[in-house]
Every structure is written in structure tokens, then in C-alpha cells.
Amino acid sequence: MAGLVAAAATAFYPPLVDVAGRALSEPLGALGLAIAVLACVWAARRPAEWRFALAGLALGLTLLARADLAPAVPLVALWAVAVARRPRGWRRAAMCGAALLAGTVVAVAPWVRSASDRAGRLVPISTSGGSAIFVGTYLPGHGTMFGLKRSLGNELRLQDPRMGSVPNFRLPQERILDLVAGRHPELDRDAALRREARENLDRYALRRPLPFARMLGTKAARMWVTPNRGPHARVGAVSLTVHLLLVGLALVGTILAVVRVRRPGPGALLAVAASSTAINAVFLSEPRHLLPLLPALFATGAAGWALLLKRSRA
């Protein structure tokens, strides 16, 4: 029954239906993460190094579609150590965590080598981090692309008079980013934006810590409380209510599965969710970044509620 509930939530949740028809990485990432979480749950039932290595392999393949989940790998490895510690002891538990890391590395290594050879430098899966962290740490733009356009739109219009009649929300974001990167002509665009991001941290995180922290909190919440929609569409009351109910119930059910029912498997997904939330707080935050987590979250949440109900009846 829990599986049917999770499948129905995944099949009929409107943003997942919408994104499935677009050329985006979220559907493939969602499939990969669901398989990786399933592998983690399977490994947690009978902890062994080879099982966690396979789980790491599945997680690594997921990273090829969703590189933004890479920071979750160390957290999932720590989860593996915690899961294996009691039945296997610290030494074997550490080996289980190392096996998960090794499996992940094996999965991504061919791509990293190929991309690095072409770029002439180390490419850790993706090279698009400069723009995301610059936008995400730019306090005058509230850490959003629309805010960045509002803040720097006039500067772009001064540089290019053809943009004079273009409203802020229609300004090409690549032109805005090129404008910022142009402050460091000696660097390529990604490196220039990373330097600007470091300056953002010095200018805002250190000198205006409270507004900066408030911005990060708002961005982290945006990922969870706002359903994905089109770039200029508004969120209706019904859509927002359905989103909050589904996501809230799934998240609470997953937490209950770990805390109350003592099933450690879903903890792997909680580790990924925590990492993804932190990444969205610092980098560019978008509601669609939650979509790869949702099928697995619906599954673990439904399982958690089912297990809790079964336990209460026993």
C-alpha cells in the first residue's frame, strides 16, 4: 500500500509531471537518486562493504545527471559508518563508508578524466559553479537571478543601449553574468564569477552577517516551500496547499521512519536532503532543485507512515 501511495504521489504531483516533458536533468536525477536510496536501504539491512560499494556506484551515476548532489556523498558515507557501526564495529563500519566513497569515485572517474583532459584542468563533474555561487551570494539581488537583474539591469543598459526598453525580468541572464565577469578580463568567465563570489562573501557575509544569514535562510526555505513553476507563473493557493501537504507529510514520515521506527535506511535520503538544502542556501536556489529528491522522499515517507501505523496496531 505504501508503494502505491508513493507511486501515485510521484505520478500525479504536477511539477514532476511538468518537468518530465522538458529537456532537464531533474527526471533522470530523480530516477538515479531513487535507485541510489533503494541501494542504501538494501545495504543498511545487512551492512557489508560490497553492498555499500554498489550503493556508492548508484550514487555516483546519479551525480552524472545532478552534479549539485556531490556534496552529499561525504554525508552519506558518514551515514554508512553510523549504520554499520553497531553490527560490524568501528573498523568494519569505516570500511563500509570508504567502500561507498570508492563506489562513487569509480562511477564518476571516467567522466572526470575525459572532461579534465578536454579542459586542460581538473573538472569535478561540472564547471558551472561560478555563476551559481555568485548569484547565490549577491545580497543586493537577494540571492536570486531576478534580483540580480533588477540590481544590475541599469548597468547593462548603460553598456548596451539596445537593452534600454527591455524590462528587468526579460534581460538575458547570460549578458548580466558576462557584465560581472568582465570586471576581471584576465580570467575566464567561471573563474571571474568565482572571484566575485569571494568578494561577495567578504563584502556581505563578513560585514553584514545578519542580512546575509537571513538571505541564506530564505533561499533554503524556498527550495522546500515553493512548488516549481514556470519562470513567470504564479503559485495558486491550491497548488501551494497540495505541495506543502505532500512534501510535509513525506518529510515527516521519513524522519519518523528513522527516529521512531528505528529504520536507518531512509537516513541516507535525509543526508542528501540536508546537503541539498545547504547547497541551495549558498548557491542559486530554485524550487526545481527539490524535484530530484521527491520520488525517493515520497517512497520513504509513505514507508515511514505505514511502519508507524503497523507499530501502533501491534
Q: Per-residue confidence at 41, pLDDT binned at 50, 70, 90?
A: very high
Region label for 240, one of left (φ > 0), alpha (ψ between -120 and 50) or beta (otherwise): alpha
The Cα 149–Cα 167 span in angstroms is 9
pLDDT of residue 261: 87
The Cα 260–Cα 130 span in angstroms is 41
Q: Where are the alpha helices (DSSP H) in 46-172?
A: 49-63, 72-119, 129-136, 145-159
Q: CB count, 10 Å around CB of 220?
A: 18
Q: CB count, 10 Å around CB of 205?
A: 17
pLDDT of residue 230: 62
Q: Is 281:217 a contact under the CB 8 Å cutoff?
A: yes
Instruction: Please indicate whether residue 298 or residue 121 has the higher confidence score (pLDDT).
Output: 298
pLDDT exceeds cutoff 90 at 188: no
pLDDT of residue 32: 96
Q: Any idea what DSSP says for residue 226?
A: S
Q: Is 73:104 a contact under the CB 8 Å cutoff?
A: yes
Residue 183 grid coordinates: 570586471
Burial class of residue 39 (count of CB atoms within 10 Å of its CB; 0-12, 13-18, 19+): buried
Tell me the whole-structure pTM to 2 decimals: 0.89
Q: Per-residue confidence at 160, pLDDT binned at 50, 70, 90?
A: confident
Q: Is 155:168 a contact under the CB 8 Å cutoff?
A: no
Q: What's the whole-number mean pLDDT along residues 296-301? A: 96
Q: Is 151:138 a contact under the CB 8 Å cutoff?
A: yes
Q: Is 302:21 a contact under the CB 8 Å cutoff?
A: no
SS3 track for 210-241: HHHHHHHHHHHHHHHHCCCCCCCCCCCHHHHH
How many angstroms from the chain centroid is the CA of residue 85? 28
Residue 289 grid coordinates: 532543485
3-state helix, strand, coil in the chain (%, to 5): 80, 0, 20
pLDDT, one tens digit per residue, over 168-186 is: 888 899 999 999 999 999 9
pLDDT of residue 119: 76
The Cα 81–Cα 97 span in angstroms is 5
Q: How many CA atoms lie within 13 A of 60 on its CB side?
A: 22
pLDDT of residue 314: 64
Domain residues of the chain, as ranges? 2-126+208-307, 127-207
pLDDT, one tens digit per residue, over 200-214 is: 999 999 999 999 999
Q: Is 56:107 a contact under the CB 8 Å cutoff?
A: yes
Residue 264 grid coordinates: 536507518
Q: Is 2:253 a contact under the CB 8 Å cutoff?
A: no
Q: What's the whole-number mean pLDDT along residues 112-129? A: 79
Q: What's the whole-number mean pLDDT along residues 125-134? A: 79
pLDDT, one tens digit per residue, over 217-250 is: 999 998 999 888 765 567 778 888 989 999 999 9
Region label for 143, one of left (φ > 0), alpha (ψ between -120 and 50) or beta (otherwise): left
Q: Any idea what DSSP says for residue 68?
A: G
Q: Is 78:32 a contact under the CB 8 Å cutoff?
A: no
pLDDT of residue 306: 92
Mean pLDDT of the chain: 90
The Cα 18–Cα 50 span in angstroms is 38
Cα distances (Å, whole numbers) of residue 30 to 69, 112, 292, 305? 11, 22, 4, 22
Q: CB count, 10 Å around CB of 238?
A: 9
Q: Per-residue confidence at 3, pLDDT binned at 50, 70, 90?
A: confident
Q: Per-residue confidence at 127, pLDDT binned at 50, 70, 90?
A: low
